[in-house]
Amino acid sequence: MRLTYDATTDVAYLSLRATGPADLLGPTLLLEHDRAFPGAVALDFGLLDGRVVGLEFQMASACLPAELLATAERVDGGHLARIAEMRLGRGVQSSSATRPGRVH
């Protein structure tokens, strides 16, 4: 298991199993939302095998213990790119990636 935290989006992700470039996320189930619960939790499934891949905690700082978030691997600014990569099945370049120069 691996816990990551993106402070820019305030999203924590608990990966329940290792995933590779060939793994695609399939359906996502938004768990029941309660007005008394600050945040939302989504359960991700693998597209090919239907098994649980991980849990996403939105508004993580409001619903997870600060001590737990302090131990998480920081991926500030990278969570959305990682999820998009897993959904699309290909690498997603960030805007800070180096681009090849023009050939004149």
Q: What is the pLDDT of residues 6-36, one digit of tens each?
A: 999 999 999 998 777 667 788 888 887 777 7
Which strands sit side by side in the sheet containing 40-46, from one edge to the other?
Answer: 25-30, 40-46, 52-58, 11-15, 2-6, 73-74
Q: What is the pLDDT of residues 49-97, one digit of tens each?
A: 888 999 999 999 998 999 999 999 999 887 777 777 766 664 444 333 3
Predicted local confidence at residue 101, as pLDDT? 36
Q: What's the whole-number mean pLDDT along residues 94-102?
A: 36
Is the pTM value of this prediction over 0.85?
no
Map residue 38 onto helix, strand or coil.
coil
How many angstroms separate the CA atoms of 15 and 60, rounded?
15
The three-state DSSP-derived secondary structure of 66-96 is HHHHHHCEECCCCHHHHHHHHHHCCCCCCCC
Map residue 61 onto helix, strand or coil.
helix
Predicted local confidence at residue 71, as pLDDT? 96
